[in-house]
Amino acid sequence: MPPANSRQQSASNSQPSAIPVLWIDEAILAIAKPAGLRALPDGYDPAIPYLKSLLEPLYGQLWVVHRLDKETSGVVVLARTAEAHRALNTQFEQHRIQKVYLALVKGMPEWEEKTVDLPLRPNGDRKHRTVVDPRQGKPAVTRLRVLERFKDYTLIEASPETGRTHQIRAHLAAEGFPLAGDRLYGGGEPLHPLEGFALHARSLSLKHPVSLEQLSLVAPYPEEFQSMLERLRLVASQP
């Protein structure tokens, strides 16, 4: 296998700029998913573009290893062989993948760091939300750290140790700090220029399924996410 830097390709060389490529080799493809793009086909309208439908014409057959919500941007890894798919699935199932998200929340937490350990049950109410359920919920742990404070909003680093459906959204809402723009969990209307909630899958660390080297994949801020933060900084700086 060639050196790591020879396997990395810029988005301009391999893919439309809307889906930047973070890493590609014979076993895996890592991309920075834009917000608004589905990871899987729409159940009501299969003709709506989704991740595999856009990528497979360029890279051949791909296997979905994990997914992000439609409105979440950031790192997504896909397998390019069945063997790589099995190896990556095992890492996810055994919680050996390290994930870091950046979440803009409504409100101003009094703490700087906090670990949320609340069991979660998906599809737990009439709105099909993931809910905290001490009896029927599955264990879920998310480590939180404040990165930056604005007026009425806070940027938080969220590191989930488990992979429950809507885990970060549900845990933040349970703490009283829903994602900005997350209508489902009480975060209100999206902040301009975002069209959805403010959650970005910043980085993902895993063991390469073939070489076994440790990879750390980082997705830059999408332009609209960066613009939103700059607007909040401007407002916060005003007297």
Looking at the annotation, which residues are catalytic?
Answer: 69
Rounded distance between C-alpha atoms, residue 135 and residue 210, angstroms: 40
Q: What angle do CA 143, 212, 80 make, to 5 degrees?
A: 90
How remote is the C-alpha of 107 from its chain's centroid? 21
Contacts of 90 (CB under 8 A, 6+ apart): none
Which amino acid appears at position 239 of this protein? P
Rounded distance between C-alpha atoms, residue 146 and residue 160, angstroms: 15
Contacts of 193 (CB under 8 A, 6+ apart): 224, 227, 228
Contacts of 38 (CB under 8 A, 6+ apart): 48, 49, 50, 51, 70
